[in-house]
Amino acid sequence: MRSGGANRVAFGDVYFRYGLRSSKWRHHPATNQSFRGHLYQKSRAITSYSNQSICFEIIGTKHANSIGALTKMIQKNYYIGFAPLADLDQMLDALVHDPPDFRWGLIRDLCRLGDPKDRYELALKIEDCLGEIQDFTTQSRLFLALKALRNTTGAEGYVLVKGVGAFRESDLKSEKFGGPYEPPQPNHEMNFHPVVDFRIHPQVPDMKLFVDMRRAGVSRGVILATDTDPADLDRPSIKDSLYKDYSSCAQSRWLNFEQIMKHLRSNLYSNTHVTNKDVAAWLKDYPEILFGFGSVNLSKERYYVEEKLDQIGKLGLRGVNLTPYSQFFNPAENQNVDLLFQYCRSVEGVVVSHSGCGMGPFDILELSRNSNPILWEPILKKYPDVPLVLAHCGSYSEFLPGIWLHEALSLGKNFRNVYGDFSAVEWILDSAAIVKEIRKTITFDRILFGTDYPFPLASGMRPACLVSSVRANRHLTEKEKHKVLGENAIKLLRSD
């Protein structure tokens, strides 16, 4: 370990220092605060697991058995640097009474409850409340809470450090007294070529997300909000349009309109719903690992859109995520699209739009027509300087894979501000013909890696597999692989 910079900390009778491997050590007076609350309070976050590592060195002890005590403490405490949790009654009160804008922050706290008895007791309290709650947004939050309390993260053996990410538990232990331990360095390739996941839905515990990122070698991630509202289905114009579209599809022969509306309503406030404030809370905890995109429902009134855009700006989010099929707007006709692009031009923001069919009932082609990427052409002519990322490259559909891929590539050929990510449609890079077409149109300078996390987990596909598949791809050059996996995203987000 180099001499130089980190913090000096006391935990019980054990004194040690910690810091980034490449930093200069600065000695600070030992503190009597708990290890949990202070260890990473003053260390800055790692921007890439591949370039820097955290080092620990025990520098003193009063009693011989203190090393064992420190090891046991690390074994029991899997969350370092986080504020202490509220008591169970306070947690329950927040789950029931906090505004809907604070949805996932509460669930994230529940995932840090370590005592099985506490988890069981709180679950019983939540179940007792459910029968009395009428508001569906609160009901949804309580069901998410129950799921969080009953499920494990599947990340045993890891420790989560606020602001830094996940590490193997063994990486945070000194193997012998006085001996520094440095986490193993990743392979040479990763040191120079970062991996950025451009499409993450933050709907899992912190520990789960960052363990999967670490296992995959993903150093940065883009997390997305989603602004959808089941009440939109009660608006006459939207309901009438849906009725007309649904009546023309084959599914209408065996599933009536009221039944499909019920499915649509539940889909619009499902686990996919993440608010702008939820995203901002993640960024506050991990500002040098995550980029955040807000969301605004462009089918709403102008004042609503203006308020949401103002909120996105104040929260420091990098851009705006849209789902035209579930926000019920046509990009070629909606009046608020201009307002959005004017905002992004003024703040150098990025627009991300779902393209292709939606999930669940929205996988019906007639209900997802608003997500045809060709509908963005009129606005792209007016705003050639505002980047637009077509998520899924227009190809997502369970029944018609690649449904609007040609339209997405055509836009990329005609407009240099158009990008595409291949989240959930990684198969397109397995086709030599499609790879050749990408080179002729949008080019691999504007193709981005994304996982659509956590949805691939449902089919057993982990981010590490998706990264490995790109690295092993036979149709891409090494230069194209590096661009796709991270270099293009870093340039687009103007990040060092």
pLDDT for residue 30 is more than 50:
no
As beta bridge partners, residue 292 has 223
Are both 109 and 32 inside the same structural domain?
A: no
- Which pLDDT tens digit goes with each residue over 162-192? 998 998 887 765 433 233 333 333 333 444 5
Measured distance CA(245)–CA(261) in Å, rounded? 12
Of the pLDDT bands very low, low, confident and very high (cuts 50, 70, 90), residue 121 is very high
Q: What is the mean pLDDT of residues 328-353?
A: 98
Q: Cα dist. 125→92, 121, 143 in Å? A: 8, 6, 12
Residues 345, 278 share a domain = yes
User: Same structural domain for residues 235 and 111?
Assistant: no
Q: Are residues 122 and 255 in the same domain?
A: no
- Do 390 and 469 fall within a single domain? yes
* Over residues 333-354, mean pLDDT: 98
- List the end-to-end C-alpha distance of the chain, in Å, as a whole number: 26
Name the pLDDT band for 409 (thresholds 50, 70, 90). Answer: very high
In a domain, 402, yes or no: yes
Please indicate, yes or no, whether residues 272 and 314 belong to a single structural domain of this protein. Answer: yes
Domain boundary among the residues 52, 77, 102 is at: 77
Are residue 103 and residue 38 in the same domain, yes or no? no
Return mean pLDDT, the chain: 83
Q: Is residue 408 pLDDT above 70, yes or no?
A: yes
Task: Determine what percent of the chain is predicted with pLDDT higher than 70.
Answer: 79
- Lowest pLDDT segment from 127-136, 334-343, 363-372: 127-136
Strands 447-448 and 418-421: parallel
pLDDT at 451 over 90: yes
In the prediction, which pLDDT does 495 show? 65
Domain boundary among 24, 46, 77: 77
pLDDT at 342: 98
Residue 371, in any domain of the structure: yes
Q: Looking at residue 458, what is its pLDDT? A: 87
163: in domain: no
| Last residue of one domain, picked from the residues 150, 168, 184 | 150
Local confidence band at 271 (pLDDT 50, 70, 90 cut-offs): low
Choose among 367, 267, 291: nearest CA to 325: 367
| Residue carrying structure tokens 């074994």 | 75
User: How many domains is the chain built from?
Assistant: 3
The per-residue pLDDT for 138 is 87
Give the model's pLDDT for residue 66.
Answer: 41
Q: Looking at the structure, do residues 274 and 254 belong to the same domain, yes or no? A: yes
For residue 205, tell me if it sits in a domain: yes
Do 66 and 94 sit in the same domain of this protein? no
For residue 47, pLDDT over 70 is answered with no
Confirm whether 155 is domain-assigned.
no
Q: Hey, which residues does 79 pair with through a beta bridge?
A: 160
Across 186-212, average pLDDT: 80
Residue 440: the pLDDT is: 98
103 falls in which pLDDT band (50, 70, 90)?
confident
| Structural domain for 109, as ranges | 88-150
Phi, psi of 351 (to 5 degrees): -100, 130
Radius of gyration of the chain measured on its C-alpha atoms: 24
310: amino acid identity, one letter: D
Looking at the fold, whether 300 and 351 belong to one and the same domain comes out as yes
**Bridge partners, residue 448, by sequence:** 421
What is the per-residue pLDDT for 192? 56
Q: Please say if the pLDDT value at position 70 is more than 60.
A: no
Question: Are 354 and 267 in a shared domain?
Answer: yes
Closest by alpha carbon to 294, among 350, 210, 375?
A: 350
Question: Are 119 and 44 within one domain?
Answer: no
Q: Is 143 among the domain residues?
A: yes
